[in-house]
């Protein structure tokens, strides 16, 4: 061990939520990025203010895991000073199959610790499924949308990991070839602060400080074309919209689905999952898609114009669901199917409670954060619902993120 008091040798024991790994030093938990379970690393303690845990940054690998590989992005590699490591590829030093087992471990741990599931529940052993084409390409070239930053000297690049310091880079290996070629990495953009590079079915656009060409862009999913704002939300992985549409469709139990019920697509964006329901159950299906962003709702109305029973509502989901609870004929929602795709923070206890009070036939939950999903799972279980199915997908290779699609049904409706 080096003489400096803030330099320590640590043995990594397991993975934690958020793309960091766990070690112990003098009885205290230490979170360390850029490592792997089973490794011994030399690290610098960088945050020792809390009594419950400290944070450190890995400087050198003393005993490497068999799953460690050369980092897919040299700008993030461990041989760079920690302050100069580009953020956004925090699992890039790990073999792809091991990345997925680590993500499954995080999901399983969250479901037990925060979701209240038994350790022997089959959902605690959920496998993280690869996305088509990623294994052949080593998990590279999947990002169709990249957000970059510009520093005070006009230099363009990603932020350093866990900081707001711009790092100049030579390449963007997670981006599609079209996005990578269009990114102005070698340009000076004096006075700017952000650069977005977006690939849609219409081609590539580059927006500096949010300024993009006027008009909509378009995305194709199966036989459907979706319009959206140039910088509006759309799934980032090139295959994500198709994969998640299929997963949501499969998660819906046809025996519990009533096309005439007041079905809901919450946090609905431009109507992707409302369209999924219509494409499976017919274009006469009743479904309301709810989204707080009015421009997205306008596009949803256009995208669902062929669905006779569809409507698009601009509203905050919590307020919309609360207003339903005040309706006189609230019992009609017992036949409904509700799909929700909340932000990373999850739907939250209040929204989950309001939804459960409606007693819908089934709830399909699309989640991009394991802990948020687990907490909302606990709230649903406490309100009379049980987890019926769960699938997880590796839609963000070389990062710690994982997507999941969960289905919940009323406890009293489950077969004995």
**225 touches 271 (CB < 8 A):** no
CA gap 102, 35 in Å, rounded: 12
Nearest to 8, CA basis, from 52, 55, 70: 55
**44 touches 6 (CB < 8 A):** yes
User: Any known ligand binding at 341?
Assistant: yes
Q: Which of 102, 175, 368, 407 is catalytic?
A: 368
What is the b/e burial string over 70-98, where b = at least 16 CB atoms within 10 angstroms of the residue's CB?
ebbbebbbbebebeebbbbbbbbbbbbeb
- Is 368 one of the catalytic residues? yes
Burial class (CB in 10 A: 0-12, 13-18, 19+), 294: exposed
User: Any known ligand binding at 235?
Assistant: yes
Residue by residue, DSSP assigns 61-112 as: EEE--TTB---SSGGG-TTS-GGGPBSS-TTTTB-HHHHHHHHHHHHHHHHH
CA gap 336, 48 in Å, rounded: 50
Q: Which residues are annotated as a binding site for S-adenosyl-L-methionine?
A: 235, 267, 291, 341
Residues belonging to the active site: 368
Q: Which residues are annotated as a binding site?
A: 235, 267, 291, 341
């Amino acid at each position: 061990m080096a003489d400096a008091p803030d330099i320590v040798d640590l043995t990594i024991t397991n993975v934690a939520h958020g793309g960091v790994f766990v070690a112990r030093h003098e009885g205290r938990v230490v979170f360390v990025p850029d490592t792997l379970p089973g490794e011994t690393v030399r690290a610098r303690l960088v945050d020792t203010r809390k009594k419950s845990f400290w944070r450190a940054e890995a400087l050198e690998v003393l005993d490497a895991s068999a799953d460690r590989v050369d980092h897919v992005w040299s700008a993030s590699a461990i041989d760079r000073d920690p302050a100069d490591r580009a953020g956004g590829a925090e699992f890039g030093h790990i073999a792809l199959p091991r990345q997925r087992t680590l993500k499954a471990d995080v999901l399983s741990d969250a479901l037990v610790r925060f979701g209240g599931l038994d350790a022997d529940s089959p959902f605690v052993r959920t496998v993280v499924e690869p996305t088509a084409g990623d294994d052949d390409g080593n998990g590279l070239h999947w990002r169709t949308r990249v957000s970059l930053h510009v520093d005070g000297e006009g230099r363009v690049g990603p932020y350093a990991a866990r900081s707001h310091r711009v790092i100049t880079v030579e390449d963007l290996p997670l981006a599609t070839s079209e996005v990578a070629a269009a990114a102005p990495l070698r340009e000076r953009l004096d006075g700017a602060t952000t650069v977005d590079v977006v690939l849609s079915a219409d081609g590539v656009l580059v927006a500096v400080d949010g300024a993009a060409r006027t008009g909509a862009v378009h995305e194709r999913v199966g036989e459907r074309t979706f319009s959206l704002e140039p910088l509006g939300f759309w799934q980032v992985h090139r295959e994500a919209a198709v994969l998640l549409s299929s997963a949501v469709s499969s998660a819906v139990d046809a025996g519990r689905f009533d096309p005439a019920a007041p079905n809901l697509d919450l946090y609905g964006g431009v109507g992707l999952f409302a369209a999924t329901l219509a494409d499976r159950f017919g274009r006469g299906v009743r479904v309301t898609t709810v989204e707080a962003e009015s421009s997205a709702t306008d596009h949803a109305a256009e995208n669902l114009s062929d669905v006779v029973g569809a409507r698009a509502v601009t509203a905050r989901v919590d307020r919309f669901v609360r207003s339903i609870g005040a309706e006189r004929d609230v019992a009609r929602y017992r036949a409904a199917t509700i799909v929700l795709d909340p932000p990373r923070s999850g739907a939250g206890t209040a929204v989950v409670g309001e939804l459960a009070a409606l007693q819908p036939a089934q709830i399909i939950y699309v989640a991009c954060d394991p802990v948020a999903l687990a907490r909302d799972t606990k709230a649903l279980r406490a309100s009379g619902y049980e987890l019926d199915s769960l699938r997880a997908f590796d839609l963000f290779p070389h990062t710690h993120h994982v997507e999941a699609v969960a289905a919940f049904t009323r406890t009293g409706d489950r077969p004995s």
